[in-house]
Amino acid sequence: MRRLEVGIVGTGYVGLVTGACLAHLGHSVVCVDIDREKVESLSRGEVPIYEPGLEEVVGGALRQERISFTTDLPATVERVDVLFIAVSTPPGEDGAADLSNVASVAREIGASLARRGEKSPLVVVNKSTVPVGSGDYVSMLIEEGAEGRDVSYYVVSNPEFLREGSAVYDTLFPDRIVIGTDSREASEAMRELYAPIIEQSFPTSYDPRPKAAVPFIVTDLASAEMIKYAANAFLATKISFINEVAAICDLVGADVTNVAHGIGLDSRIGSRFLSAGIGWGGSCFPKDVSALRSIAREYDYESTILDAVVAVNDRQLKQVVSKLQRELHTLKGKRVALLGLTFKPNTDDMREAPSLKIARTLDSLGARVVGYDPVATGPASEAVPQMKVVTDPYAALSGAHAAVVVTEWDEVRNLDPKQVAGLMAAPKLVVDGRNVLDPASVEERGLLYRGFGRG
């Protein structure tokens, strides 16, 4: 394979994982960030986020001198063949994606392009999750930054489909690679960049290799941008659907875990994202569903299904409080332990974590909230100062009248019910917000079990 010079603007979750994995494949990667302290710590191999395997990949790329970190975007534009924009696009008050970071980078790229001289056109890749039409928007901003100078570039959409907690794996063994462009030259450059992944020709310790080959899909810019939003919106819909079914299961005495297993065996449905419970959170689903609804409103279209998806998800968090109130009667003065605080296991990401809304609601109702998480103690304490956060799950459970399983960490799944029962105060209520515990094992130890849709 040909070793390409690659730039990544933004060393957040997506940017850092993408850059590290491309360096791991053999490309020469320079990651750009405006935060000088962050650049310096990354240059020492200090990874600021918790993501399994990422520190090892970054460290290996540093040792082989395949990755570097800088604050100098103009010099990077001058040097590289492909430049990824991987900056944050947080939701605004109306739910629409805030593109101010993308805009700033695009203008600076335009201002720096003239420095490339006779080099081949720069392939500018939108890796950030951006609304439909953003490819044209970025092109316009690059031209603004160029201020009338003749510059040569292509704008490509290449949405990411990474799951936090398995992002390195998802990058190297993806279900598909999606490229949005009308340029044959740009699509071929991206195919060359991703060739080791497409062909699965890079060395791996997996035996057998998880993938034989990876589909490489080339479409127009708008369709590629929509694929990202549609994928996440559909997965969020699937979760809200099974939660709707769970509510009906509670009414008729059925067990949603059996129902989900039964319907998940249908190849048209599939078993993934059919786990009933508290619902979805995190940095992707809320933001992307909100952005897609915002796009629909721009065109005066009523997104009825997406509106219902959000409504069901909001209801699930309220169900946690309702289950606590039903058994404790009053929450004033009651100690409630939240087990797991990040929005999912194997990450330290607290963005839109269900635990935060639950903790704030319980605090407002007079409960004494104590939280446990194996990796996010600091971020959780900062997010909800009124919640006491501990590093030992049994310390959180000591004297608690109720416990809520919020995040299905292995450390939570594997708690000893007998020890838990000995520590908790009556009524020793366990609200299983992820349906990961065995009700019979929990109740035979004297705990009061309440799940979601389990009859």
Name the residues annotated as catalytic.
Answer: 284
Within 10 angstroms of residue 304's Cβ, the number of other Cβ atoms is 9
The 8-class DSSP code of residue 98 comes to -
Q: Binding site annotation covers 273?
A: yes
By the 8 A CB rule, do 407 and 400 touch?
Answer: no
Picking from 350, 358, 352, the residue whose alpha carbon sits closest to that of residue 323 is 358
Helix (H, G, I), strand (E, B) or coil at 277: coil
Helix (H, G, I), strand (E, B) or coil at 216: strand
Q: Binding site annotation covers 351?
A: yes
Within 10 angstroms of residue 205's Cβ, the number of other Cβ atoms is 5
Which H or E element spans position 82? strand 82-85
Q: Binding site annotation covers 275?
A: yes
Q: Binding site annotation covers 205?
A: no
How far is the C-alpha of 342 from the C-alpha of 437, rounded, in Å? 18
Within 10 angstroms of residue 323's Cβ, the number of other Cβ atoms is 19
Q: Binding site annotation covers 276?
A: yes
Contacts of 153 (CB under 8 A, 6+ apart): 109, 113, 121, 122, 123, 124, 142
Helix (H, G, I), strand (E, B) or coil at 377: helix
Record the tokens describing residue 126, joined without a space. 């939108």
Distance, CA of 143 to chain centre: 32
Q: Binding site annotation covers 33?
A: yes
Dihedral, CA of residue 64, residue 67, residue 71 and residue 72, to nearest 10: 100
Helix (H, G, I), strand (E, B) or coil at 360: helix
How far is the C-alpha of 77 from the C-alpha of 8, rounded, in Å? 10
Task: Give the relative orientation of helices 54-63 and 13-25 as an angle to the nearest 10 degrees.
Answer: 50
Q: Binding site annotation covers 163?
A: yes
Contacts of 383 (CB under 8 A, 6+ apart): 350, 353, 356
Record the tokens describing residue 334, joined without a space. 């009651």
Q: Binding site annotation covers 235?
A: no
The DSSP string of 303-337 is -HHHHHHHHHHHHHHHHHHHHHHHHHS--TT-EEE
25, burial (CB in 10 Å: exposed 0-12, middle 13-18, buried 19+): buried
Q: Binding site annotation covers 161?
A: yes
Q: Binding site annotation covers 89?
A: yes
- Residues that constitute the known binding site for NAD(+): 33, 38, 89, 129, 164, 287, 351
- Residues that constitute the known binding site for substrate: 161-164, 228, 273-277, 281, 344
- Residues that constitute the known binding site: 33, 38, 89, 129, 161-164, 228, 273-277, 281, 287, 344, 351
